[in-house]
Chain A
Amino acid sequence: MSVAAHQDGAARPAERARALSIDLPSLAVLALLILLPAFTNRFVLTEVFGLTFAFGIIALSLQFLAGYGGMVNLAQITVAGIAGYMVAVLGPNTMGFGLAWPWWAAIPIALLLAVAASALIGLLAIRTDGIYTIMITLAICAAFSYFTFQNYEIFNGYNGVNGVTPPRFFGVDWTEPTAFYYLLLAFAALSYIAALYVSRSTFGLALQGIRDSARRMEAIGFNVPAHRVAAYVFTGAIAAVGGILLTWHNGRISPGTIGVGAAIDILIMAVIGGIRHPIGPFIGALIFVCLSTFAMDIVEVVIPRERFKLVVGLGFLLVVLFSPDGVMGIVDKIRQSVRRNSSA
């Protein structure tokens, strides 16, 4: 399935180097995001931007697989959920549920289990192609969320686990909103840079080659299944980090967080943002979070309050209607027309 456009894949070494160097506008954005706590309230900080970063990281893991690997994997939320659940169950929570291990034991094991799960999902899913990959990963997602729903021994059923907070480390109280915002920002930036870097590495280029023509890559000696599973492992690690951050952000995890609805939400974020570039999922997540948080305030004037989901749906519809490539596609169109005008 060649979901993504190909111009990005053919990055030349010079371009690669340039892309990873820090340019002025992205520095400005980073500076703005770093300064954000100075001029916003706690809600915008954690509930809008914090949540955007957490969702964005999980959506990024989908963007990488779909955009560079041509594999649309709806089970990324499952991998995120395994990591989140393991941190909640193995580590401390206010319910006195689970094992209450210290964070330095719980977090690495949570990450490890999630990445192992991602590798397993990958081993299963790479045997399929296109829409069948979507179906099998959707099935895995549904099965796991129903399992957590009905299992009380490990996952505490529908109630899930409450009172899961980030631990104190490096002498910082990470539950404090500003500190937590910076923690999320740091991991979002790290994941973004990692995805960008890997996409332009030899491995990333081989993966894009496999996306465009698996048979040719095989013919010239690349191990196609190994590359694909490696992509699952890499994106699994990103999703796991996102899952732990999301669990800390919500202070809890329960089956609804990782259900089919959530998997679709992650897909929506990646699609409306654009799956061609790692910044897409973050833009998509920001739009998603803003719409779902503020739609109810917008609609009050226009339609009855109970119908606020209509606005959310219309918002997504408009983006996809005007640009099948998401917001990034719109950006590309503007850029092309600007270039055409200036050259004319």
Chain B
Amino acid sequence: MHFTRSYVLPAIAVAAAMLAPPALAQEKTLKVGGLATLEGVFAKNGEDSMRGIDVALKEYKNTAGGYKIELIKASSDAKPETAIRAARKLIEQDGVKILIGPLSGSEGLAMKDFAKTKPEITFINGTSAAQDTTLRDPAPNFFRFWTDGAQWSWGLGEYVVKVKGWKKIAAIAEDYSFPYTLMLGFALDYCGHGGKIVSRSWVPLGTKDYASYIAALPTDVDAIYVALGGGDAIAFLNQYQQAGGKAKLIAGAITVDQSILTSKGKAREALLGTPAAQPIADNDDSPAWKTFAKAYQDAFPPDQRFPTPSLFATGYYIATKAMLEGLNAVKGDLSNNHAAYRQALSKLKLQGPTGEITLDENRQAIAPNYITEVVEGPGGSMINRVIKKTPPISQTLGMDRAKFLAFGPVGRDNPKCN
């Protein structure tokens, strides 16, 4: 056994020494990190996020504020710790100065806390949409140019009660910060208009077998609210149909995302006619959306993208665009820990694919939202048709900040509504 000590360890040490990177970037190149989930439940969504970044960089010809932008991509799997490890690699190994991401709710919460330990880096959120990433105890160097889950839900509750007449529902959602946020936004509105949520099933992220949850869903309800994303949504919808489930569905934004509407198999059929609220709509006929959708379609061959950009591509596109516009506004001045740059970002009036986006005092986006319905689109596809576009909605859902904060942090039973 001495052999091991005499030969293996020196070999490791030598190998390790070789790992030490030469570093030092070229002049006038700015390294930017792009972090999304290329693994796990949200892999499809993460791939589309990366496309969103690429579309924005292409639009700006990879230059802003006199810099050539060098994008370095990294992956996580929707777990907070994986996202932080990836962020550390981007910052400490690759030397990025600005980081775009992450994708998933609890990743964002962790990233906010991590951002506080890296005051020299500017963080621009991707599509992570948990509420307290910006609402409570925000980080001064963390910007979110995309709305949160509660904002995404806005308007749906009223629509479901008044137009659909569904006053009693059950809910099934993933058990973490983002679906809690979705649920809060939906329930405040829904219960405020007299709706009742009689049961809520919270399933762990990445659940494959929904049999027991489906069996436990009450049958004497008008509809089921589903807030599951990526692979989870597809697994649930398949198993729900196999179990003979026929209830009407209401979807939390990402459940009717293009990543699910383009999935193979029967899952998507269950979604036909499903109302949802979300920050984009596939058949939005505004010029801004059409321009963006065309840029997306032109950038990738049809088999390497969705028919229209998903919520995730759009969110990352907006984040990247904000990053570039900010650089242009200060002509590339990143001195003094990005002070001028951050000031410019805070004041940005960003013309996004869905309209103008501005930030509040917590650096959280105020942006328009859509009420949509899943319909059959051209060529056998399925799309979210616009029913109504709501004007820009703030993170406090139009309420006074103190009053909104009094609802307390998002959670499984907030708000109570039974």
**Segment among A219-227, A236-244, A250-258 that sits at the interface with chain B:** A250-258
| A101 interfacial by beta-carbon distance below 8 Å | no
Q: Is A44 an interface residue (CB 8 A)?
A: yes
B20 closest partner in A (C-beta)? A40
Given contacts A252-B110, A277-B4, A306-B43, contact A48 B81 (CB under 8 A): no
Contact indicator A41/B92 (Cβ below 8 Å): yes
CA distance A19 to B5 in the complex (A): 10
Nearest Cβ distance between residue B377 and chain A, in whole angstroms?
26
* Inter-subunit contact A157/B176 (CB<8 Å): yes
Residues of A within 8 A of B336 (CB): none
Q: How far is the CA of A283 from the CA of B13 in the complex (A)?
A: 11
Any B CB within 8 A of the CB of A116: no
- Contact among B9, B13, B17, B175 for A158, CB-based, below 8 A: B175
The verdict on B163 contacting chain A, using a C-beta distance below 8 Å, is: no
Shortest distance in angstroms between B17's beta carbon and chain A's nearest beta carbon?
7
Q: Which residues of B contact A95 (CB under 8 A)?
A: 113
> Does B16 make an interface contact (CB < 8 A)?
yes
How far is A309 from B39 in the complex, measured between Cα atoms in Å? 8
- Counting CB contacts under 8 A, is A162 at the interface? yes
7 pairs from A and B in contact (CB 8 Å cutoff): A152-B411, A157-B176, A159-B80, A159-B177, A256-B79, A283-B8, A296-B73
**CA separation between A149 and B282, bound complex, in Å?**
35
CB-contact partner of B6 in A23, A309, A327, under 8 A: A23
Asked if A331 is an interface residue, CB under 8 A from chain B, the answer is: yes
Known: A47-B85, A306-B47. A29 touches B4 (CB 8 A): no
The answer to whether A149 touches B80, judged by C-beta atoms less than 8 angstroms apart, is no
B47's closest neighbor in chain A, by CB? A306
The chain B residue with its CB closest to the CB of A22 is B5
Q: Which of B8, B79, B80 contacts A331 (CB 8 A)?
A: B8
A41:B23 contact, CB within 8 angstroms: yes
Q: Which among A33, A43, A163, A251 is the interface contact of B13 at CB below 8 angstroms?
A: A33
**Residues of chain B with a CB closer than 8 A to A160's CB:** 80-81, 106, 110
**B47 CB contacts on chain A under 8 angstroms:** 306
Contact with A along B77-89 (1 / 0, CB 8 A): 0011110110011
Instruction: Give the complex CA separation of A290 and B116 in angstroms.
Output: 27
Q: Is B2 a contact of A250 with CB atoms below 8 Å?
A: no
Number of A-B residue pairs, CB cutoff 8 Å, is 156
- A36, A49, A251: which contacts B84 (Cβ < 8 A)? A251
Q: With A40-B20, A42-B92, A43-B88 known to touch, is A283 a contact of B12 (CB < 8 Å)?
A: yes
Chain A positions 323-340 with a Cβ under 8 Å from a chain B Cβ: 327-328, 331-332, 335
Q: Chain A: which residue is nearest B130 at the CB level? A: A159
Q: A162-B109, A279-B4, A335-B3 are in contact. Are A256 and B19 (CB under 8 A)?
A: no
CB distance from A1 to the nearest CB of B (A): 22
Residues on A with beta carbons closer than 8 Å to the beta carbon of B412: 152
A252 close to B84 (CB less than 8 A): yes
A32, A47, A250, A277: the one contacting B93 at CB < 8 Å is: A47
Give Cα distance in the complex from A305 to B19, angstroms: 21
Contact with B along A247-284 (1 / 0, CB 8 A): 00011111011000000000000000000010100010
Q: How far is the CA of A308 from the CA of B73 in the complex (A)?
A: 12
Q: Is the CB–CB distance between B204 and A146 below 8 Å?
A: yes
Q: Which residues of A contact B17 (CB under 8 A)?
A: 32, 36, 39-40
The answer, among A33, A36, A152, A252, for a CB contact under 8 Å with B113, is A252
Contact B81 A26, beta carbon cutoff 8 Å: no
Identify which of residues 127-156 in chain B touch chain A, using a CB-to-CB cut-off of 8 Å.
none
Q: How far is the CA of A18 from the CA of B202 in the complex (A)?
A: 58
Q: Bound complex: CA of A19 vs CA of B3, how far in Å? A: 11
How far in angstroms is the closest Cβ of chain A from B32? Answer: 16
Q: How far does the alpha carbon of A306 sit from the alpha carbon of B46 in the complex, in Å?
A: 9
Complex alpha-carbon distance, A95 and B20, angstroms: 34
With the chains together, A331 CA to B23 CA distance in Å? 34
Cα-based distance from A41 to B93 in the complex (angstroms):
8
B149-197, CB < 8 A from A:
175-177
